[in-house]
Amino acid sequence: MHVLLVIAHGSRRCESNNEIRQFVKNIAQHGRNAFDSTRVAFLELAEPSIETAVDECVHDGASQITVVPYFLSAGYHVARDVPEILAAKQTQYAKVPINTKAYIGRSAEMIDLVIDAALD
Amino acid sequence: MHVLLVIAHGSRRCESNNEIRQFVKNIAQHGRNAFDSTRVAFLELAEPSIETAVDECVHDGASQITVVPYFLSAGYHVARDVPEILAAKQTQYAKVPINTKAYIGRSAEMIDLVIDAALD
């Protein structure tokens, strides 16, 4: 089972976390999504934590986990915190490859999204 | 002069703020960008602040400011902090309309960007 894990920052504002949870549900249901399961995790302030989400993936039978950090720039969260947590989990679950992709702010299409938003 | 102002969170990590500054420069130079000027501001932890950026826009002759909040979800920053700062600036500069667009996380294309990142 190949799991896509989308990691967001998490917010003190409940609606914001629910917005991210719904967003990840929409990703799960998208026609181009070929992952067996698509899940959400939060770095802080919301559940599930990254640790809990990875534990659940493995418990549910994940053979491989692909991570997309849902962050716009490489602050300390992207550059240090998320990689450290995932590295510890990779050590714990050595047989389940955890493959972290570029954070979303690196997407070449992001410029177009800003211009689209500005012109909308 | 119609200014596009991209507002980001700001980071304790200098490279992250420079990344955002370069990103906004790339937006400024993009062929689809018809704004007379494209500028960056940070909510916190980096310069220019939103207040300073708006002051500079008006000082430089802006007749209209379009704002795109470069945030992924509607936490308190998007729901409260940024609107409060901009409302105060709108009161100060009543003759320069400040028009805030949807934050970038509302873009319908964001799902595709996550899937693209996951499959890359």
User: Can you tell me the distance from the alpha carbon of A93 to that of A72, in angstroms, rounded to the nearest whole number?
Assistant: 28
Residues of A in contact with B40 (CB under 8 A): none
Residue A110's identity, in one-letter code, is: M
- Does B87 contact chain A (CB < 8 Å)? no
Give the pLDDT score at A96: 98
pTM of the entire predicted model: 0.95
**Interchain proximity A27–B111, CB inside 8 Å:** yes
Residues of chain B with pLDDT under 70: none
Q: What is the ipTM of this complex?
A: 0.96
Q: Residues A65, A98: contact at Cβ < 8 Å? A: yes
Q: Which parts of chain A have pLDDT scores under 70?
A: none
Name every chain A residue with its beta carbon within 8 A of the beta carbon of B111: 23, 26-27, 30
3-class SS of residue B92: helix
pLDDT digit string (tens) for A41-71? 999 999 999 999 999 999 999 999 999 999 9
User: What is the reported pLDDT for A15?
Assistant: 95
Rounded CA-CA distance A3/A64 in Å is 6
Nearest CA in chain B to A111: B27
State whether residue B101 sits within 8 Å of chain A by CB: yes
* CB of A41 less than 8 A from some CB of B: no
Determine the pLDDT at residue A25: 98
Kindly report the average pLDDT of chain A as a whole number: 97
Report the pLDDT value the prediction gives residue A80, as an integer from 0 to 100. Answer: 96
Identify which of B32, B76, B116 has the shortest CB distance to residue A115.
B32
Residue A13: count of CB within 10 angstroms of its CB: 19
- In the numeric block, which tokens belong to residue B52? 């300073």
The predicted structure's pLDDT at residue A99: 98
Say what the pLDDT of residue B7 is: 98
Which pLDDT does position B61 carry in this prediction? 98
